[in-house]
Copies of this chain bind each other. A is one copy, B any other.
Amino acid sequence: MTEIPPVLLDEQLCFSIYSASKKFNHFYQSALAPFGLTYPQYIALLALWEDAPLTVHQLGDRLELDSGTLTPLLKRLEKQGWVTRVRSRTDERQVLIHLTAMATTKRDEVYQRIGQCQSLLGMSDQEIQTLMTDLITVKSQLDHVSEQRAIEKKVNAQN
């Protein structure tokens, strides 16, 4: 007869992160309005500006998104002239995502716009660094739990 403690919304770390994530999304959507980019499209371009071309799979690893999300997103980026999607000649299963000349040209404009926006956050590099380190801890814990669950599931399936 143990009392079960209530789960209060405002005490949930998940909810803090969930709502912060949505706010960041709006923040960037608004900041990137002059370029017509959504937040997921923007991070796809960030990854590509660091290291293009990438296959859909490689980009997915980087952004933790699967082809079900990336394929339509990349088709939209292609339509808007940021990337090209080219089947690899050496392995026809792969699609290579290349940056267009326009994407290369506009890169610094985007970098600059984002740099300006980030300074609006009014946080020191130190503060941001600490927060990010903590988040990495949380994420690795979540990964660990997911892995455990996957193993349990596998073991159960064997019976």
Contacts and interface: CB of A to CB of B under 8 A. Distances in A.
A46 interface: yes
Given A30-B146, A111-B4, A62 B122 contact: no
Contacts of A17: 17, 20-21, 24, 135
Contact of A134 (B49, B127, B142): B127
Given A6-B111, A46-B7, A146-B30, A13 B132 contact: yes
A137 B128 CA distance: 11
16 contacts: A4-B115, A5-B115, A7-B46, A9-B62, A15-B43, A17-B135, A18-B25, A19-B64, A20-B138, A21-B21, A30-B149, A120-B141, A120-B145, A120-B148, A121-B142, A130-B134
Interface of A: 4-9, 12-28, 30, 39, 43, 46-47, 49-50, 62, 64, 108, 110-112, 114-115, 117, 120-123, 127-128, 130-132, 134-139, 141-143, 145-146, 148-149
